[in-house]
Amino acid sequence: MPLPVLTPNDFASDQDVRWCPGCGDYSILAQMKKVMPTLGLPREKIVFISGIGCSSRFPYYMNTYGMHSIHGRAPAVATGLKTCRPDLQVWVITGDGDGLSIGGNHLMHAIRRNMDLNIVLFNNRIYGLTKGQYSPTSPAGKKTKSTPMGSIDNPLHPLSIAIGAEATFVARSIDTNIKHLAETLKRAADHRGTAFVEVYQNCNVFNDGAWSYAKDRNTKAETTLELEHGKPLIFGKDRDKGVRLNGLEPEVVALGGGIAEDDLLFHDERSPEPSLAYLLSRMRYEDGFPEPIGVFRAVEKPKYDDMINDQIEEATKMHGIGDLEKLYNAGETWEVE
Amino acid sequence: MATATEKHVENLDEATVRFCGDSGDGMQLAGTQFTNTSALAGNDVATFPDFPAEIRAPRGTKAGVSGFQIHFSSKDIYTPGDTVDALVAMNPAALITNLDDLRPGGILIVNTDNFDKKGLEQAGYEGNPLEDPELEEKYKVHQMDMTKLTRSAVDGLGLSVKEADRCKNFFAMGLVFWLYDRSLDPTLRFIDAKFGKKPEIAQANVAALKAGYHYGDTVEGWNTQYLVEKAKLPPGRYRNMMGNQALAWGLVTSAKLSHKRLFLGAYPITPASDILHELAKHKHFDVLTFQAEDEIAAVTSTIGAAFAGEMAVTASSGPGIALKGEGLGLAVITELPMIVINVQRGGPSTGLPTKTEQSDLLQAMYGRNGECPMPVIAASSPSDCFDAIQEAWRIAVEYMTPVFFLTDGYIANGSEPWRIPDVSELNKVRVKHPDPMPDSNDEGAPKFMPYARDEKLARPWAVPGTPTLEHRIGGLEKQDGSGNVSYDPANHEHMIHTRAAKIAGIANGIPEQAVDGPDSGDLLVVSWGGPYGACATAVHRAQAKGLKVSHAHLRYLNPFPRNLAELLGRFKKVLVPEINCGQLQMILRAEFLIDAIPYNRVQGKPFAVHELLEKIEECVAS
Ligand SMILES: Cc1ncc(C[n+]2csc(CCOP(=O)(O)OP(=O)(O)O)c2C)c(N)n1
Ligand code: SF4
β-strands B521-528, B549-554: how paired? parallel
Which of B308, B329, B423 shows the shortest C-beta gap to A85?
A: B308
Task: Give the confidence band of B5 by pLDDT, cuts at 50, 70, 90.
Answer: low
Average pLDDT for B220-247:
93
Average pLDDT for B518-544:
97
Residue B327: how many CB atoms within 10 A of its CB? 30
B274 and B148 both lie in a single domain: no
Residue B162: how many CB atoms within 10 A of its CB? 7
B504 and B563 both lie in a single domain: no
| Euclidean distance between CA atoms B524 and B456, whole angstroms | 32
Q: Measure A80 CA to nearest chain B CA, in Å.
A: 4
Contact check, Cβ <8 Å, A332/B40? yes
Size of chain A, expressed as the number of residues it contains: 337
- CATH for B593: 3.40.50.920
Residue B548: give the domain boundaries.
521-621
| Euclidean distance between CA atoms A89 and A43, whole angstroms | 10
Tell me the backbone φ, ψ of residue B388, rounded to 5 degrees: -65, -35
Q: Are B591 and B614 in contact (CB under 8 A)?
A: no
In terms of DSSP H, where are the helices of A36-126? 74-84, 96-97, 104-113
Which of B236, B265, B284 shows the shortest C-beta gap to A320?
A: B284
β-strands B521-528, B376-378: how paired? unpaired
- CATH for B411: 3.40.50.970
Q: Please identify, among B184, B199, B228, the residue that sits at the C-terminal boundary of a domain.
A: B228
| Euclidean distance between CA atoms B406 and B378, whole angstroms | 5
In terms of DSSP H, where are the helices of B355-383? 361-366
B179 and B51 both lie in a single domain: yes
In terms of DSSP H, where are the helices of B41-183? 92-98, 117-123, 133-138, 146-153, 161-165, 168-179
| Euclidean distance between CA atoms B191 and B37, whole angstroms | 13
B164 and B214 both lie in a single domain: yes
Window 96-125 of B: residues touching A by CB (8 A cutoff) are none
Contact check, Cβ <8 Å, A42/B308? no
| Euclidean distance between CA atoms A325 and B40, whole angstroms | 19
| Euclidean distance between CA atoms B91 and B123, whole angstroms | 9
Does residue B221 lie within any of the structural domains?
Answer: yes
Q: Measure B539 CA to nearest chain A CA, in Å.
A: 27
Percent of chain B topping pLDDT 70: 98
Q: Are B91 and B21 in contact (CB under 8 A)?
A: yes
Identity of the residue numbered A330? A
Element (H, E) at A26: helix A25-35
B71 and B132 both lie in a single domain: yes
Cis check for the bond before A75: say yes or no (omega within 30 of 0): no
| Euclidean distance between CA atoms B520 and A155, whole angstroms | 69
| Euclidean distance between CA atoms B375 and B391, whole angstroms | 11
Tell me the backbone φ, ψ of residue B464, rounded to 5 degrees: -50, 140
Average pLDDT for B276-282:
98
| Euclidean distance between CA atoms A6 and A42, whole angstroms | 8
Which of B230, B292, B470 shows the shortest C-beta gap to A43?
A: B470
B212 and B318 both lie in a single domain: no
Element (H, E) at A133: strand A133-134
For the cut 80, the answer to whether the pLDDT of residue B594 exceeds it is: yes
Does residue B49 lie within any of the structural domains?
Answer: yes
Query: Of the candidates A184, A182, A188, which has an alpha carbon nearest to the alpha carbon of residue A169?
Result: A188
Residue B70: how many CB atoms within 10 A of its CB? 32
B255 and B393 both lie in a single domain: yes
| Euclidean distance between CA atoms A269 and A277, whole angstroms | 7
Q: Are B247 and B385 in contact (CB under 8 A)?
A: yes
Does residue B69 lie within any of the structural domains?
Answer: yes
Does residue B134 lie within any of the structural domains?
Answer: yes
| Euclidean distance between CA atoms B249 and B390, whole angstroms | 10
What atom in ligand 1 is closest to the CA of residue A95?
Answer: 15
Residue B76 at interface with chain A, using a CB cutoff of 8 Å:
no
What's the pLDDT score for residue B3? 46
Ligand 2 neighbourhood includes A122 CB (under 6 angstroms):
no
**Best of A127, A133, A211 for a ligand 1 pocket test (most atoms within 8 Å of beta carbon):** A127
Does residue B534 lie within any of the structural domains?
Answer: yes
Residue list, ligand 1 pocket, CB within 6 Å: A 52-55, 71, 95-98, 122, 124, 126-130, 135, 203; B 326
Q: Are B537 and B488 in contact (CB under 8 A)?
A: no
| Euclidean distance between CA atoms A89 and A169, whole angstroms | 16
Residues 6 or more apart from B171 whose CB is under 8 A from it? B146, B149, B150, B153, B208, B209, B211, B212, B215
Q: Please identify, among B476, B510, B544, the residue that sits at the C-terminal boundary of a domain.
A: B510
Q: Please report, for residues B162, B164, B170, B191, B195, the alpha-carbon distance to residue B200 in angstroms, rounded to integers and kept in the order given.
A: 14, 10, 15, 11, 9
What's the pLDDT score for residue B1? 41
B62 and B168 both lie in a single domain: yes
Tell me the backbone φ, ψ of residue B77, rounded to 5 degrees: -130, 155
Please tell me whether residue B227 adopts helix, strand or coil conformation: strand
Q: What is the DSSP string of B269-308?
A: -TTTHHHHHHHHTTGGGTEEEEE-SSHHHHHHHHHHHHHT
B171 and B245 both lie in a single domain: no
> Which residues in chain B are closer than 8 Å to A60, comparing Cβ atoms?
472, 474, 485
Does residue B161 lie within any of the structural domains?
Answer: yes
- CATH for B38: 3.40.920.10
Mean pLDDT over all residues of chain B? 95
Identity of the residue numbered B19? F
Identity of the residue numbered B128? N
B501 and B533 both lie in a single domain: no
Does residue B3 lie within any of the structural domains?
Answer: no
Strand order across the A334-336 sheet: A334-336, B236-242, B415-419
3-state secondary structure B239-257: EEEEHHHHHHHHHHHHHHH
Q: Please report, for residues A50, B30, B481, B483, B485, the alpha-carbon distance to residue B448 in angstroms, rounded to integers and kept in the order given.
A: 22, 60, 9, 10, 15
Which bound ligand lies closest to the C-alpha atom of A131? 2
Identity of the residue numbered B567? L
Cis check for the bond before B319: say yes or no (omega within 30 of 0): no
Residues 6 or more apart from B576 whose CB is under 8 A from it? B525, B526, B527, B582, B584, B585, B588, B596, B597, B598, B599
Q: Please identify, among B453, B487, B510, the residue that sits at the C-terminal boundary of a domain.
A: B510
Tell me the backbone φ, ψ of residue A153, rounded to 5 degrees: -85, 145
What's the pLDDT score for residue A96? 98
Average pLDDT for B54-77:
91
Q: Are A150 and A163 in contact (CB under 8 A)?
A: no
Please tell me whether residue B122 adopts helix, strand or coil conformation: helix
Q: Are B130 and B191 in contact (CB under 8 A)?
A: no
DSSP conformation class of B458: P
A97 alpha carbon to ligand 1 midpoint, in Å? 6
Task: Give me Rg for the CA atoms of chain B.
Answer: 27
Residue B4: how many CB atoms within 10 A of its CB? 9
Contact check, Cβ <8 Å, B239/A331? yes
Q: Are A11 and A64 in contact (CB under 8 A)?
A: yes
What's the pLDDT score for residue B441? 66
Averaged pLDDT in 10-residue chunks for chain A of 337 residues? 80 94 98 97 97 98 98 98 98 98 98 98 98 98 97 98 98 98 98 98 98 95 98 97 96 95 97 97 97 98 97 98 97 91
| Euclidean distance between CA atoms B87 and B98, whole angstroms | 8
> Can you name the residues that pair with A117 across neighbouring β-strands?
A90
B87 and B189 both lie in a single domain: yes
Query: Of the candidates B357, B70, B12, B424, which has an alpha carbon nearest to the alpha carbon of residue B240?
Result: B70
| Euclidean distance between CA atoms A24 and B412, whole angstroms | 53
First to last CA, chain A: 61
Tell me the backbone φ, ψ of residue B13, rounded to 5 degrees: -75, -35
Does residue B96 lie within any of the structural domains?
Answer: yes
What's the pLDDT score for residue B239? 95
First to last CA, chain B: 60
A119 alpha carbon to ligand 1 midpoint, in Å? 17
Q: Please report, for residues A59, A90, A138, B378, B541, the alpha-carbon distance to residue A94 in angstroms, rounded to integers and kept in the order given.
A: 11, 13, 16, 38, 62
Task: Give the confidence band of B51 by pLDDT, cuts at 50, 70, 90.
Answer: confident
* Max Cα distance, chain A (Å): 99
What's the pLDDT score for residue B55? 77
Q: What is the DSSP string of B395-437?
A: HHHHHT-EEEEEEEHHHHH-EEEEEPPPGGGSPPPPP--PPPP
> Which residues in chain A are closer than 8 Å to B236, comparing Cβ atoms?
335-336
Contact check, Cβ <8 Å, A69/B330? yes
Give tens-digit pLDDT for B134-191. 999 999 999 999 999 999 999 989 999 999 999 999 999 999 999 999 999 999 999 9
| Euclidean distance between CA atoms A131 and A139, whole angstroms | 17
Task: Give the confidence band of B444 by pLDDT, cuts at 50, 70, 90.
Answer: confident
B401 and B544 both lie in a single domain: no
Domains identified in chain B, total number: 4
Q: Are A24 and A95 in contact (CB under 8 A)?
A: no
